[in-house]
Amino acid sequence: MTNVSDPIAKTVQPELEQFMQGLIKRNPGEMEFHQAVREVAESVMPFVMDHAKYRDAQILERMTEPDRIVIFRVTWEDDQGSIRANRAWRVQFSNAIGAYKGGLRFHPTVTLSVLKFLGFEQVFKNSLTGLPMGGAKGGSNFNPRGKSEREVMRFCQSLMVELHRHIGEDTDVPAGDIGVGTREIGFMYGMYKRLENRVAGVLTGKGLTFGGSLVRMEATGYGCVYFCENMLNHRGDSLESKTVAISGSGNVATYAAEKVVQLGGKVVTLADSDGFIHDPAGIDEQKLEFVKELKEVRRGRIQEYTERFASATYHEGKRPWGVACDVALPCATQNELDGDDARTLLAHGVQVVGEGANMPVTPEGIRLLLDGKIFYAPGKAANAGGVAASGLEQSQNALRLSWSRDEVDERLRSIMREIHDKCVEHGNENGFINYQQGANIAGFVKVADAMLAYGVV
Ligand code: NDP
């Protein structure tokens, strides 16, 4: 969030409010979308007002209107033979710098507002990776929790019966997100191949035997930790011996934890939507294997961790931010770390907050972290490793090649370093690096310049 005591920010406050009022009027009730746009507009508006070429072309107004939204019904049959209907969306936000790219989310909290916020964020994130990818997001209010594998398969197949018309390797390339992992991508890709009779890099996050990339599964969590390591290195420090609190126990959380452990840090928490576990002895690689099996194979609850490891305690209905740590990595979902959590973390001396999830810190939380002058890494920079590896999967599919684990990991590391450096370049405020400002402006410039080049379209 731009510091409103900054003289440039102060002078554009009326323009910002007028812009936001228009956006809210055009998109009523879409709270998550308003929040995501305000977060970007607060940093970018002073920059736009300072550059006539962006201001006169109404770039911010155009960027906040998705290119296209597809809404459709997904009908499927459950194991009892009852007919069920869900709603699904694909928000194709911007293809200014490349084909649409972004995940699919299956969760009961999915609404158009949530997908518009995620699609908007994705435009900036994909721009930051340096790869030619536009931004999109999709998903459904389908709840995978408690569903059998057959039910999940039938749902994925039915969804693809409609979605296949709207995607393609040069048009729109979906991937996974909450509730959509390798299993669901496999089911959707199987149906896509059947409908289209072609093998193409039209989804990423595929299994390794049919076009997937090594390190894609690990990439978001690993990338987030590489980003935090870059921030600490920037001031001559590292993750070695740091205590790290992580929320979530899904794809992003478990691989973030794995990389922290590999870099010498100590992970003390993991969570799911029911509560969190605190293991002061540290969650090492062996304990993480248990968590992966619990969550990916048995699809159980994190509470089970305490039955296996006596060093841990379970905290029902709570979030992990009350646990003292040097580094906090929110890796579950949006708005999961609020102002009170930020105050508690700061009181405990937190040095780094890296967003593995999308928009996990609330606006008040961000303001407090920035005022506290700690390292705050916004998701569009810190979790861009996932989509970057998806971009690398697309390249391998196009080349009909598979790169080695080390090759993909090295490219991922170097992309995260480059994103970090772009944030430093655009976010330097008299020596303090405002990574939020840096990420928003760096992401904006590339997309805006492409839009200007196309003329008024
Ligand atoms: P997963 O479905 O693998 O895991 C999600 C985790 O978050 C689970 O532990 C889940 O708990 C928990 N969770 C979900 N909803 C809530 C909630 N409302 N309150 C508390 N906890 C919740 O998803 P991912 O790990 O893939 O995604 C996590 C975050 O990272 C999301 O914000 C996603 O958009 C973002 N992200 C993911 C990328 C990827 O490559 N997968 C790329 C970039 C960002 P439970 O088991 O109880 O549901």
pLDDT in tens, 156-170: 999 999 999 999 999
Read off the tokens for 398: 């196009």
Select from 377, 407, 428 the last residue of a domain.
377
Q: What percent of the chain has pLDDT over 70?
A: 98
Q: Is 119 in the pocket of ligand 1 (CB under 6 A)?
A: no
- Say whether both 333 and 229 belong to one domain: yes
Residue 389 lies in a domain: no
For residue 257, is pLDDT > 70? yes
Atom index in ligand 1 nearest the CA of residue 205 equals 40
Residue 410 lies in a domain: no
Read off the tokens for 306: 């305490």
- Say whether both 153 and 290 belong to one domain: no
193 vs 146: CA distance, rounded Å: 28
Q: Is the CB of residue 245 less than 8 Å from the CB of residue 268?
A: yes
- Say whether both 176 and 307 belong to one domain: no
Angle, alpha carbons 138-163-94 (nearest 5°): 50
- Say whether both 225 and 314 belong to one domain: yes
Best residue among 273, 292, 337 to mutate for probing ligand 1's pocket (most ligand atoms within 8 Å of CB) is: 273
Task: Encode pLDDT of 223-248 as tens digits.
Answer: 999 999 999 999 999 999 999 999 99
Q: Is 322 in the pocket of ligand 1 (CB under 6 A)?
A: no
Select from 149, 168, 199 the last residue of a domain.
199
Please report, for the domain that includes residue 146, its CATH number.
Answer: 3.40.50.10860
Q: What percent of the chain has pLDDT over 90?
A: 98
Atom index in ligand 1 nearest the CA of residue 274 equals 47
- Say whether both 104 and 51 belong to one domain: no
Q: Is the CB of residue 426 less than 8 Å from the CB of residue 161?
A: no
362 vs 342: CA distance, rounded Å: 9
118 vs 334: CA distance, rounded Å: 10
Q: Is the pTM of this model over 0.85?
A: yes
Question: Mean pLDDT across the stretch 131-143?
Answer: 98
Residue 421 lies in a domain: no
Task: Encode pLDDT of 98-118 as tens digits.
Answer: 999 999 999 999 999 999 999
- Say whether both 345 and 237 belong to one domain: yes
For residue 6, is pLDDT > 80? no
Task: Encode pLDDT of 353-408 as tens digits.
Answer: 999 999 999 999 999 999 999 999 999 999 999 999 999 999 999 999 999 999 99
- Say whether both 113 and 74 belong to one domain: yes
C-alpha of 235 from chain center: 26
Residue 419 lies in a domain: no
* 260 C-alpha to ligand 1 centroid (Å): 18
Mean pLDDT of the chain: 96
Best residue among 251, 258, 294 to mutate for probing ligand 1's pocket (most ligand atoms within 8 Å of CB) is: 251
Read off the tokens for 343: 């105050």
126 vs 428: CA distance, rounded Å: 22
What total of structural domains would you count in the chain? 3
Residue 409 lies in a domain: no
Residues linked to residue 3 through DSSP beta bridges, in sequence order: none
Active site residues: 137
Q: So what's the pLDDT on residue 411?
A: 98
- Say whether both 149 and 94 belong to one domain: yes
In the chain, what is the greatest distance between 2 CA atoms, to the nearest angstrom? 64
- Say whether both 89 and 159 belong to one domain: yes
* 314 C-alpha to ligand 1 centroid (Å): 19
- Say whether both 275 and 317 belong to one domain: yes
Task: Encode pLDDT of 302-331 as tens digits.
Answer: 999 999 999 999 999 999 999 999 999 999
Residue 232 lies in a domain: yes
Range of the domain at 250: 219-377
Q: Is the CB of residue 39 less than 8 Å from the CB of residue 53?
A: no
* 252 C-alpha to ligand 1 centroid (Å): 7
Q: Is the CB of residue 412 less than 8 Å from the CB of residue 385?
A: yes
* 148 C-alpha to ligand 1 centroid (Å): 20
Residue 109 lies in a domain: yes
Residue 244 lies in a domain: yes
- Say whether both 230 and 367 belong to one domain: yes
Cα Rg of the chain (Å, integer): 21
For ligand 1, atom 2, the nearest C-alpha belongs to 178
Select from 165, 199, 233 the last residue of a domain.
199
* 356 C-alpha to ligand 1 centroid (Å): 9
Taken in order 141, 147, 153, 155, is the CA torsion positive or negative? negative
Task: Encode pLDDT of 67-87 as tens digits.
Answer: 999 999 999 999 999 999 999
Which secondary structure element, helix H or strand E, spans residue 456, and what is its range?
A: none
